[in-house]
Amino acid sequence: MPPPFFQPPWPPFTAGDRTYTFSHLDEFCFEMEDSAGRRRCLLVSFSDHVFTRDDVPPSARPIPFPGCSRSPGYICDARYGFSLGLRPRIEGLPAAQVWLLSG
């Protein structure tokens, strides 16, 4: 059972003949080791910004997303498509190399 601080998932949203599902954006936790060697549990949550935008031209026939944190916010097919890959990218971060550059 998820911890009590988890937010309920977004329900599917249908506009015209397309249904957007959001189960890939459910909150999740994963463990990793920090730079001091301590195990940490990271909670990851998403906002509607990962699949909406506020600057849709009228010619694109924007589809408003109800209850969006933007005012107003519209479904963006490109961002929605990118959001499908967010979880695996985030879960892969502990194994990634990070470069710190200065100068």
Residue 51 lies in a domain: yes
**How many separate domains does the chain show?**
1
User: Measuring CA to CA, which residue among 51, 40, 53 is closest to residue 12?
Assistant: 51
Residue 64 lies in a domain: yes
What is the extent of the structural domain holding 47?
Answer: 13-95
Residue 56 lies in a domain: yes
Question: pLDDT tens string for the chain (103 positions)?
Answer: 555 556 678 899 999 899 999 999 999 998 888 878 899 888 899 999 999 998 878 787 889 999 899 888 999 999 999 999 999 999 988 888 777 778 6
Coil vs helix vs strand at 30: strand
**Side chain identity at 86, as an amino acid letter?**
L
Residue 34 lies in a domain: yes
- Whole-model pTM: value is 0.80
Residue 55 lies in a domain: yes
Residue 40 lies in a domain: yes
Coil vs helix vs strand at 57: coil
Token representation of residue 70? 């933007």
Which residues on neighbouring strands pair with residue 14, listed in sequence order?
Answer: 19
